[in-house]
């Protein structure tokens, strides 16, 4: 089945739902369609848009790097800077670059967006990457899952009071805290399998999109 939406030419495989291809000749039109669906900038009005663009340009220019033969950064240096930058800063940079540069917007569209829906239903644009509710890992919604992809604990991580030797909650604070779970995982036990906090998941299943109903540690 072939579906065209906003310039996307999609081919649906009934046996592997969710996969699709994007023809190179229609990609530029597709990015325009996605701009209508997803507001990358958060702007709600047209007023002041020129001032906003000028401010964004000034912000980018203040951090610009004037290259010459002696100061040209290497790819390794750029990769290291990306790895050490705050996530919020990287997101802001990507949003600004996507707004200003059609080539960047096209590349990010291909990497971060996909389409969803059964072959007989209307398609819609959705994020390509999700965080799993069960295991906490990211996964590509386009990739067909098998039952081994998601490994997790379905139970609760419970504190073992007797393992916190000489721990006085009046002096040291509560035992069952996020920081203690990270620092002393051996002092906690999973209710589902009796493994301590260092034990790998005891159940295999499918990835589930993360919600705010429950958080696992």
Question: What's the average model confidence in pLDDT over 176-182?
Answer: 93
Q: What is the pLDDT of residue 217?
A: 40
pTM score of the predicted model:
0.54
Confidence of residue 95 (pLDDT cuts 50, 70, 90): very high
Q: What is the pLDDT of residue 208?
A: 87
122 pLDDT higher than 60: yes
Q: What is the pLDDT of residue 9?
A: 45
- Coil, helix or strand at residue 206: coil
Q: What is the pLDDT of residue 69?
A: 57
Question: Is residue 211 within 8 Å of 133, Cβ to Cβ?
Answer: yes
pLDDT digits (tens, 9 = 90+) for 16-60: 334 444 443 344 444 444 444 444 444 444 445 555 556 655 655
pLDDT digits (tens, 9 = 90+) for 69-81: 567 889 999 999 9
Q: What is the pLDDT of residue 36?
A: 44
Higher per-residue confidence, 167 vs 213: 167
C-alpha span between 63 and 122 (Å, rounded): 43
Nearest Cα residue to 142 out of 42, 16, 3: 16
165 pLDDT higher than 80: yes
Backbone angles phi, psi at 175, to 5 degrees: -75, -40
Burial class (CB in 10 A: 0-12, 13-18, 19+), 44: exposed
Q: What is the pLDDT of residue 21?
A: 41
pLDDT digits (tens, 9 = 90+) for 96-109: 999 999 999 999 99
Per-domain residue ranges of the chain = 2-127, 130-205
> Which CA distances in Å does 178 have to 133, 183, 204?
18, 9, 25
Query: What DSSP string runs through 73-88?
Result: PPHHHHHHHHHHS-HH
């Amino acid at each position: 089945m072939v579906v065209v939406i906003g310039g996307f030419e999609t081919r649906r495989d009934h046996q592997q739902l969710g996969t699709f291809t994007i023809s190179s000749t229609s990609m530029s039109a597709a990015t325009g369609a996605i701009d209508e669906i997803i507001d990358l900038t958060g702007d709600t009005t047209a007023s002041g848009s020129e001032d906003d663009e000028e401010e964004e340009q000034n912000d980018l220019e203040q951090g610009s790097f004037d290259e010459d033969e002696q100061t040209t950064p290497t790819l390794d240096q750029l990769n290291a800077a990306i790895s050490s930058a705050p996530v919020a800063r990287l997101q802001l940079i990507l949003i600004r670059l996507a707004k200003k540069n059609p080539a960047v917007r096209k590349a990010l569209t291909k990497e971060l967006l996909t389409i969803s829906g059964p072959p007989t239903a209307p398609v819609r644009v959705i994020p390509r990457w999700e965080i799993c509710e069960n295991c906490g890992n990211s996964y590509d919604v386009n990739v067909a899952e098998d039952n081994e992809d998601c490994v997790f604990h379905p139970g609760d991580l419970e504190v073992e009071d007797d393992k916190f030797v000489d721990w006085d909650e009046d002096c040291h604070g509560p035992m069952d805290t996020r920081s203690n779970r990270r620092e002393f995982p051996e002092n906690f036990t999973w209710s589902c399998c009796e493994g301590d906090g260092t034990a790998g998941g005891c159940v295999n299943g499918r990835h589930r999109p993360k919600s705010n109903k429950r958080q696992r540690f």
